[in-house]
Structure 1
Amino acid sequence: MSSEFNSEKESPGFMLWQVTNLWQKAIRTALEPFELTHPQFVLLFSCKWMNEHNDHTSITQVQLAQYTQMDVNVTSQVLRTLEKKGYIERRPHPTDSRANVISVTKAGDTIASQAVQAVEAEDRAFFSSLGHEVEQLNRILQQLTKR
C-alpha cells in the first residue's frame, strides 16, 4: 500500500508532527532551568490562569483536564508530582466528594510566572518566521481544536 501523497510535505499530519516535535524540543529547553516538564508547566500555569480568571472559584482536576485537553489520569499523575514539588495543593471539593479542588501555592505561582515568560519568549522566537501569518495559524489551530 502506498501513500496518496507524492511528498511528505503534502501530508498535513506529517508536517504537523515534525513542527510539533521541533516546537516541543524548544519548549523543553526553555523549561529546563525551572525543572518542569512541559505537561507540568501546562497544568501549573493553566491552574493559575483558571483560578485568576474565575474569581478564584474552585477548579477541579476534571475541569483542568478538560481545559488543557489532557487525559484525566495523566492530569492526576502530573498534579501528584506538582503537589510533591510544593507547587499545588489538592483538597476535597466542598460539595462533590468525588472531586478535588486544585489551587496553586505561593511557590507554584512564582515558578509559573517565571516559566511562562520563558515559554512565551520561546514561542515568539519559534514562530517569528511567520510574521503576521501567526494570526492565521492561530485561527487554523483553533478550528482544529473544535473537532
Structure 2
Amino acid sequence: MSSEFNNEEESPGFMLWQVTNLWQKAIRNALDPFELTHPQFVLLFSCKWLNERSDHTGITQVQLAQHAQMDVNVTSQVVRTLEKKGYIERRPHPTDSRANMISVTKAGDEVASKAVQAVEREDRAFFSSLGHEVGDMNRLLRQLAKR
C-alpha cells in the first residue's frame, strides 16, 4: 500500500505533525525556567484569563476544560498538580455541590504573568518567518478548530 502523496511535504497532516513537534519543543524550553509543563501553563493562564473576565468570581473545572479544549479528566489531573504547587485554589461552588470554583493564587498569578511573556516571545520567534502571513495561518487554524 502506498500513499496518495508523492512526498511528505504534500501531506498536511504530516506537516502539521512536524511543525507541532518543533513548536512544542520550543515552548517546553520557554517554560522550563518556570517548572511548568505546557498543559500546566495553558490551564494556569486560562484560569487567570477567565477569572479576570469574570471579576475574579472563579470558574468551574468544566469551564476551564472547555476553554482549553482539553479532556475533563486530564484537566482534573493538571488542576490537582497546580493546586499542589500553590498556583490555584479550589473552593465549593455556591450553587452546585458537584462543582468547585477555581481561582489563581498570588503565586500562580505571578508565575502565569511571567510565563506568558516567555511563551509569547517564543511564539513570535517561532512564527516570525511567516511575516504578515501569520494572520492567514491563524485564520486557517480557526477554521480547522471549528470542526
Residue 144 in 1 paired to residue 144 in 2? yes
CA RMSD of aligned residues (A): 0.7
Amino acid at match of 1:135: G
With normalisation by structure 1, the TM-score equals: 0.98
**C-alpha distance in 1 between matches for 2:140 and 2:54:** 27
For residue 101 of structure 2, give the secondary structure of its aligned residue in structure 1.
strand
Q: Deviations over 1:55-89 (max 9, x none)?
A: 22331000000000000000000000000000000
**C-alpha distance in 2 between matches for 1:59 and 1:120:** 24
Provide the residue aligned with 2:36 in structure 1.
Answer: 36
**C-alpha distance in 2 between matches for 1:144 and 1:128:** 22
**C-alpha distance in 2 between matches for 1:34 and 1:58:** 24
Which 4+ stretches in 1 moved above 6 angstroms? none
Provide the residue aligned with 1:83 in structure 2.
Answer: 83
Q: Percent identity among equivalent residues? A: 85
Residue 124 in 1 paired to residue 120 in 2? no
**C-alpha distance in 1 between matches for 2:58 and 2:89:** 12
For residue 95 of structure 2, give the secondary structure of its aligned residue in structure 1.
coil
Provide the residue aligned with 2:104 in structure 1.
Answer: 104
Q: Deviations over 1:98-133 (max 9, x none)?
A: 111110000000000000000000000000000000
For residue 91 of structure 1, give the secondary structure of its aligned residue in structure 2.
strand
**C-alpha distance in 2 between matches for 1:138 and 1:86:** 34
Residue 74 in 1 paired to residue 66 in 2? no
With normalisation by structure 2, the TM-score equals: 0.98
Q: How many residues align?
A: 147
Residue 65 in 1 paired to residue 82 in 2? no
For residue 20 of structure 1, give the secondary structure of its aligned residue in structure 2.
helix
**C-alpha distance in 1 between matches for 2:53 and 2:129:** 31
**C-alpha distance in 2 between matches for 1:134 and 1:121:** 15
Provide the residue aligned with 1:22 in structure 2.
Answer: 22
Q: Which runs of 5+ in 2 are unaligned?
A: none
